[in-house]
Amino acid sequence: MPRSRLLLDLLQHDSRLPAEEQSLLAAWFERTHAPGEDLPTLLVRLGYLTPTASRTLDLMLKGFVARDSRTAVPDEVLRRIREEIVQPALAEARPTSPRRGAAPAAAQSREDLQASNCETSQGSRHAVPGATVVIAHPNLRPPAVGDLLGKCLLTGVLGRGGHGMVFSALHQSLNISVAVKVLLSDGSPIDDGVRRQLRREAQLLARLNHQNVTRVLDYDDTGVPFVVMELVEGPSLADLIAMSGRVDVARAAEIFTHAAEGLRAGGEVGLVHRDVKPGNILLARNGTAKVADLGLALATTDQSRRKVNSAELVGTCAYVAPEQARSAREVDFRADIYSLGATFYHAVTGRLPFEGRSAREMLMKHATEPVTPPSVVAAGVVDEAASAVIVRMMAKEPADRYPSYDALIDDLRGLGRRPAAASPASPATQTATLPAVATAPRSGILGRIFQYRSKPDA
């Protein structure tokens, strides 16, 4: 395992761990690790290393960070490892005469292990080396880094919200990195009807296999309900906007073509997103854009509806369609087209289409104020063709937006080829020819439960 070897080599190279102690640490690892775990992951699980230190080792392997053992393993962490792992192993390796009446060392070990397992199962935050981590009942404590959920070892926190948390994890059977979304309990039992609906939605999402949608790989609700999803190792569009200020129109057109194709695939199985925003468009290393949380965006039961903080609410309101603000349960795919347009607007101008001092003020502007064309806000950067596509996506009335994802995708693909002076026909000239659009089935309750954000999109 490259990371295990790197960690041991760093400690040896910097002369911080003598050869004998290094060998004992390696032997302890061989006895203790779970299938698929390397040494850094095991140390994260047991609370010695932080997920940040583990990621630092990855960057060292790739040459992005200088190889320094103190960067990955601070002095205090190494002291704990030596005192709690290496020195006990060193004492066991040096035989001593047992005291009269003393229990055999192996028996003492078993008793210590049972005690540590008992403590861990009751929600202790400190694991003992060699102990099996037992996930606590959700009413006692929420899952944490180092816990095992099903076959997934939680290795880091990707984000959290009012209803759940998202962890990075190692799927121990498949030996791949995944994202795990966990429902947080407020201490009350989770209704059986909620569990059944969560399961149905996860099964539906698992059948959706499209390159522009993050895949659902597994679902479990025997204890803490959680969904295992594809982990996209790249930034979100929100990250890209934050880093660059705004996104080049040609690159943005490619990103939003991918996003529209993912949303179209979801619509074909009856899913409406209802929470399209920069944080839910992920950019893979190969340049592909993927829609996250497709079909996970509507809460339909009182138990799953909880109060969200104002920052979270305003962040969502920055992209919400006017009709969705009135009734989130009765919207169709055209609400997603609006939100996709508002996200497109933000990406190419670096500004939100509407701003307000409160969620209510922002929603009122989405519902009543005409949007300033992006070509005016970012003159010389956003051409008239791209501006016209965005304005049409953000039409106040659903009937004035694109009548289908096919029509939208055709225009998005054409942005790179279309002369700057040309633009799609205006909404007013096409309203009369729009076909009736049936309301898509409801997406269900997963999204509101699993809604998360590591930082605001705006």
User: How much is the pLDDT for 133?
Assistant: 32
How far is Cα 433 from Cα 428, in angstroms, rounded to an integer? Answer: 10
* Residue labelled with tokens 């660059």: 244
Is 62 contained in some domain? yes
> Across 258-404, where does the E strand assignment appear?
281-283, 289-291
Q: Please, how many CA atoms are within 13 Å of residue 265, restricted to the half-sphere of its CB?
A: 21
Based on the number of CB atoms within 10 Å of its own CB, is 31 exposed (0-12), middle (13-18) or buried (19 or more)?
exposed
Q: Are residues 342 and 432 in the same domain?
A: yes
Give the number of domains in the chain.
3
Q: Are residues 88 and 223 in the same domain?
A: no
Which domain does 374 fall in, by range? 237-450
Contacts 24+ apart (CB under 8 A), 187-195: 187/139, 188/303, 189/139, 190/138, 190/221, 190/225, 190/303, 191/301, 191/303, 193/301, 194/301, 194/303, 194/304, 194/445, 195/221, 195/225
Q: pLDDT at residue 345 above 60?
A: yes
User: How much is the pLDDT for 244?
Assistant: 87
CA proximity to 293, closest of 202, 225, 363, 218: 202
How far is Cα 181 from Cα 177, in angstroms, rounded to an integer? Answer: 13
Q: What is the mean pLDDT of the chain?
A: 74
pTM reported for the whole predicted model: 0.60
Q: Copy the structure tokens of residue 252.
A: 């943005």
3-state secondary structure of 171: strand
Q: Are residues 162 and 300 in the same domain?
A: no
In sequence order, what DSSP letters do the residues of 342-367 get, joined into one string?
HHHHHHHHSS-SS--SSHHHHHHHHH
Q: Are residues 196 and 219 in the same domain?
A: yes
- Compute, in degrees rounded to 10, the torsion defined by CA atoms 189, 143, 300, 276: 180
* Catalytic sites, residue numbers: 275
Is 54 contained in some domain? yes
How far is Cα 34 from Cα 32, in angstroms, rounded to an integer? Answer: 7
Is 22 contained in some domain? yes
Q: Are residues 241 and 223 in the same domain?
A: no
Name the band, by pLDDT with cuts 50, 70 and 90, for residue 147. Answer: confident
Instruction: Decide if 145 contacts 53 (C-beta within 8 A).
Output: no
Q: Give the pLDDT confidence of 206-216 residue by residue, as tens digits.
A: 888 899 999 99
Name the band, by pLDDT with cuts 50, 70 and 90, for residue 162. Answer: low
Q: Are residues 184 and 242 in the same domain?
A: no
Least confident of 165-169, 210-214, 258-262, 347-351: 165-169
How far is Cα 273 from Cα 316, in angstroms, rounded to an integer? Answer: 13
Q: pLDDT at residue 445 above 60?
A: no
Q: Are residues 192 and 302 in the same domain?
A: no
Check which CATH number belongs to the domain holding 367 and give it.
Answer: 1.10.510.10
Is 246 contained in some domain? yes
Instruction: Decide if 292 contacts 251 (C-beta within 8 A).
Output: no
Is 105 contained in some domain? no
- Phi and psi for 291 in degrees, rounded to 5? -85, 125
User: How much is the pLDDT for 447?
Assistant: 52
Is 173 contained in some domain? yes
Higher pLDDT, 133 or 195: 195
How far is Cα 37 from Cα 405, in angstroms, rounded to an integer? Answer: 43
Q: Give the pLDDT confidence of 117-136 residue by residue, as tens digits.
A: 333 223 322 232 332 233 33
User: How much is the pLDDT for 341?
Assistant: 97
Mean pLDDT of 220-229: 84
3-state secondary structure 202-256: HHHHHCCCCCCECCEEEEECCCCCEEEEECCCCCEHHHHHHHHCCCCHHHHHHHH
How far is Cα 133 from Cα 46, in angstroms, rounded to an integer? Answer: 8
Q: Are residues 245 and 225 in the same domain?
A: no
Q: Give the pLDDT confidence of 369-389 residue by residue, as tens digits.
A: 999 999 999 999 999 999 999
Q: Are residues 268 and 155 in the same domain?
A: no
User: How much is the pLDDT for 206?
Assistant: 85
How far is Cα 117 from Cα 133, in angstroms, rounded to an integer? Answer: 7
In sequence order, what DSSP letters do the residues of 399-438 get, joined into one string?
GGS-SSHHHHHHHHHHTTTS-TT--PPPHHHHGGGPPP-P
Q: Are residues 346 and 203 in the same domain?
A: no
Is 458 contained in some domain? no
Q: Copy the structure tokens of residue 186.
A: 């407020």
Q: pLDDT at residue 306 above 50?
A: no
Q: Are residues 165 and 280 in the same domain?
A: no
The domain boundary, picked from 179, 201, 230, lies at 230
How far is Cα 268 from Cα 405, in angstroms, rounded to an integer? Answer: 11
Q: Of the segments 84-93, 257-266, 432-441, which one has the largest average pLDDT value?
A: 257-266
Q: Give the pLDDT confidence of 241-297 residue by residue, as tens digits.
A: 988 899 999 999 999 999 999 999 998 888 888 889 998 999 998 889 999 887 554
- Alpha-carbon separation of residue 289 from 236, 239, 253, 254 (angstroms): 9, 13, 11, 8
Q: Are residues 197 and 274 in the same domain?
A: no
Q: pLDDT at residue 303 above 50?
A: no
Is 97 contained in some domain? no
The domain boundary, picked from 198, 230, 262, lies at 230
Check which CATH number belongs to the domain holding 179 and give it.
Answer: 3.30.200.20
The domain boundary, picked from 213, 230, 247, lies at 230
